[in-house]
Structure 1
Amino acid sequence: MTQKVYADVNEAVADIPDGATLGVGGFGLCGIPDRLIGALQERGVAGLEVFSNNCGVDDFGLGILLTAGRIRRVTASYVGENKEFARQYLAGELEVELTPQGTLAERLRAGGVGIPGFYTPAGVGTPVSEGGLPWRYAPDGSVAIASPPKETREFDGSEYVLERAIRPDFGLVHAAVGDTHGNLVFDKSALNFNSLVAMASGTTIVQVEQLVEPGDIDPGSVHLPGIFVQRIVHTGVQDKRIEKRTVREVHA
């Protein structure tokens, strides 16, 4: 069996080139592969096209690559907590494809199981299917690149839009537990987009909090089999930040 365990995150991402397409797991700041993202930042990789639910926050997660100007294009479903993201997008420095969250998830899943595309009702009758969404603005505020119209088709009297699968060159994933064969267990909601990114990507790189030997994970507890994982790095417990802390006012 090909050795999947890498000594550190720098070694694991060493061959990701400028201009690569990159799938990144996580939801908000939950389950993001922060150590792998940090290693990419240190390497100075640029011109990245990223597929992720969101783009982190200004000083953490994908936000550090964004702030450094390393990301060329983003396909995401939510970007509301990142002021630098909004600034770059409106200034024409960043190309953005916004897509419904369920559609993004299914596009990744389709890429992982070898389906080139699928029809969905989500977005029918809106600019998602009809085109015209601003992907990139010009510096003067006009639309430089707009989304094209998508193919639609009727099934049983209802209209559906064709969405294409996503197959990134590399995928960055975070898991709670993994064995040296790449079998993974995710912690509760940190499962989110991590398993889908792992399935869809050509080369999947995983940071794990706990690395164990084959057989130590109950087969029935495996969330993602090792066939989808090419590289694994033991990074220890993740820095689990809270995206937005909310407290209740206490009355005496």
Structure 2
Amino acid sequence: MNIFSYHLVKIPYNLAIKGLFSDSINKKTKGLIHSEYMTAMTLGSPIISSSRFLIKQVAIFAQWENEYALENYLREEKFGKILAKGWHVRLEFIREWGKISGYKIPKQKAILENESSPVVAVTIARMKPFAIPRFLRWGRPVEKLVRDHSGTLLSLASIRLPNTVSTFSIWKTEKEMTNMVHGHSDMSKPKRHSNAMKERERKSFHFEFTTLRFKPISEFGFWNGQENFIPNLKRN
């Protein structure tokens, strides 16, 4: 069965720069369907700031034919061994909105036990260059909403130049995430997300855009000194 994985790892500066211009994960890796190498960013941070582009912090979002292919990559391949020293979560697909190239969306969908189960959301967008200023104007308030939301366990943004941007968030419950999406949370200015979606529908920011929802199935390693972000989940 296809699985997805989301990895966070800190790597040396020279290796991080190399990754900006070449594929750190070989596209011909056995069992790999698709992956995105991205530089991590702090959600909601000022556009010109040291926290906006965390060059040595790398996010990898990948899809694999099965869990064995991922485990083999982490165990046998040079960059896989680097990823194995970081943190990652393994994911089963639930839902997709929009479309993005590269990934193959499974026909088989996972089911959460109930709306109080934890859930992971990943967004990926291929930006229209001239739409970036408008996107930032509408997007940064949404980033702050997700970053500060009491329902998130971990959240961040990432970028792959020239035009790929992404967000990743782990939510305590599916209900808290969907309430945020529809503007029903208890946070101040709760409609920031729903208003931005209306603006996107009025005039798109992107060539391609998707929001993917996942069921987390296992979690491995440490990120910024912390482990076990997701309660009651299988550990390494």
TM bracket (short chain): under 0.3
Q: Which has the higher contact order (CA 8 A, sep 6+)?
A: 2
Could you state the TM-score of these two structures normalised by the residue count of structure 2?
0.26
Query: Greater strand percent: which structure?
Result: 2
Larger radius of gyration between Structure 1 and Structure 2: 1
